[in-house]
Amino acid sequence: MKKKNVNVSDHPLVLDKVSKIRDKKTSVRDFRHLMGEISMLLGYEALASVKLKNVIIKTPLSDCKSKVVSQDIIFISILRAGLGMVDGLVELYPDAKIAHIGMYRNENTLTPVKYYFKVPKKVKNSFVLLADPMLATGGSAVEAVNMLKAKGADKIYFLCLIASKKGLDYFTSIHPDVPVFVAAVDEKLNNNGYIVPGLGDAGDRTFGTL
């Protein structure tokens, strides 16, 4: 799939791990570990555009012109499934701030219901990485970005493991300025709004609440 601002990974390690995380026989422990690993690999790509500044570092031998990250990095998970992605992202960049958006899907209307929103006071000019493993209908991700933009966030990236084509189309039509980094894109949704073939309920599989 080629779409502006959508980055579908073709990295062999990502593809291999996606195959394993889809497998219904994968244990809770391994599922959790794989989610962290895939998130780290996708996050590595997304963070390629973080801002840097020039500094002088003193090595044991001499001064050295170097570059360091010059803006706050904020990892935001959409609860609860997004929590499974944060460990991998934090391992990638431990100095990041961590924030949470609480949302669940109304099973009758498939629309998002908000119940929690806790982010740093200053999000403008920060590098915001929003994480949710599944982009199904796209409703939760769209609403989360709406909330972040209303708070002042002006550099938002969205990370997910698997997206449906319908959800991706909807998200990018509403937020064409938000780059998406995704491991795989699936063709369809079933009548319950789940991605097919997908991987099931990411939250239940992460926390063992099947």
Closest by CA to 187, choosing from 152, 158, 163, is 163
Closest by CA to 11, choosing from 55, 44, 54, 36, is 44
Which pLDDT score, from 0 to 100, does residue 107 have?
73
201 is catalytic: yes
Domain count, the chain: 1
Task: Report the CATH number that the domain containing residue 119 is assigned in CATH.
Answer: 3.40.50.2020
Other CB atoms within 10 Å distance of the CB of residue 59: 8
pLDDT digit string, tens, across residues 37-71: 999 999 999 999 999 999 999 999 999 999 999 99
Which pLDDT score, from 0 to 100, does residue 2 have?
62
pLDDT higher at 31 or 192: 31
Q: Looking at the domain assignment, is residue 30 inside a domain? A: yes
172 is catalytic: no
Q: Looking at the domain assignment, is residue 58 inside a domain? A: no
Q: How many CA atoms lie within 13 A of 166 on its CB side?
A: 11
Task: Enter the pTM of the model.
Answer: 0.92
Catalytic choice (30, 109, 154, 209): 109
Q: Looking at the domain assignment, is residue 57 inside a domain? A: no
204 is catalytic: yes
Give the integer Cα–Cα distance in Å for 2 and 10.
12
What is the chain's mean pLDDT, rounded? 93
Q: Looking at the domain assignment, is residue 63 inside a domain? A: no
Q: Looking at the domain assignment, is residue 60 inside a domain? A: no
Domain span at residue 37 reads 6-52+68-207
